[in-house]
Structure 1
Amino acid sequence: MKFQPLALQDAPLLHQLYADTPDYFRLLGTQLPSVGEVEQDVQTALFDPRRRLELIYLPDGEAGRPIGSIDYKLDFPDAGDVTINLLLIRGELQSSGLGGQVMQHVEQRLPTRTRRMLASVLGDNARAVRFWERLGYRFATDARPVMTWYAKQLTPPLSPAPAHPSLSRH
Structure 2
Amino acid sequence: MRHAPSSVVSYRPAGPADEPFLRGLFADSRASDFAHVPGTDAAVQQIVSLQFDAQAAMLTAHHPRAVHEIILIEGRARGRVITDTTAERIHLVDIAVVADHQGQGIGSQVVSEICQRAASSGRTVELSVWGQNDRAIRLYVRLGFEPGETTGHYLSMRWVAGIDTEAFA
TM (norm. structure 2) is 0.69
Q: Give SS of 2:103's match.
A: coil
Amino acid across the alignment from 1:150 = M
What is the alpha-carbon distance in structure 1 between the residues aligned to residue 147 and residue 104 of structure 2? Answer: 24
Shift of 1:2: 1.5
Gaps of 5+ in 1: 157-170
Amino acid across the alignment from 1:69 = R
Amino acid across the alignment from 1:99 = G
Change (3 A) 1:41 1:57: farther
Q: Give SS of 1:104's match.
A: helix
What is the alpha-carbon distance in structure 2 between the residues aligned to residue 24 and residue 88 of structure 1? Answer: 15
Matched, 1:73 2:91: no
Contact preservation (8 Å) 2:69, 2:82:
yes
Which residue in 1 is equivalent to 2:3?
none
Amino acid across the alignment from 2:71 = I
Matched, 1:32 2:43: no
RMSD across aligned positions (CA): 3.4
Shift of 1:70: 0.8
What is the alpha-carbon distance in structure 1 between the residues aligned to residue 94 and residue 33 of structure 2? Answer: 12
Give CA deviations for 1:15-67 in whole Å, capped at 9, x if unaligned: 1222333347559x99523497179549827x823x11111001x25x4xx21
Shift of 1:132: 0.7
Matched, 1:56 2:71: yes
What is the alpha-carbon distance in structure 2 between the residues aligned to residue 121 and residue 26 of structure 1? Answer: 19
Shift of 1:138: 1.0
Change (3 A) 1:25 1:7: farther
Which residue in 2 is equivalent to 1:135?
143
Give the percent of matched residue pairs that are identical in Structure 1 and Structure 2: 22
What is the alpha-carbon distance in structure 2 between the residues aligned to residue 88 and residue 154 of structure 1? Answer: 24
Amino acid across the alignment from 2:100 = E
Shift of 1:123: 4.3
Q: Give SS of 1:48's match.
A: coil
Q: Give SS of 1:84's match.
A: strand
More helix per residue:
2
Matched, 1:44 2:55: no
TM (norm. structure 1) is 0.69
Shift of 1:107: 3.4
Which residue in 2 is equivalent to 1:105?
113
Q: How many residues align?
A: 146
Gaps of 5+ in 2: 1-8, 38-43, 164-169
Which residue in 1 is equivalent to 2:4?
none
Structure index of larger Rg: 2
What is the alpha-carbon distance in structure 1 between the residues aligned to residue 119 and residue 158 of structure 2? Answer: 17
Shift of 1:128: 1.5
What is the alpha-carbon distance in structure 2 between the residues aligned to residue 92 and residue 13 of structure 1? Answer: 14
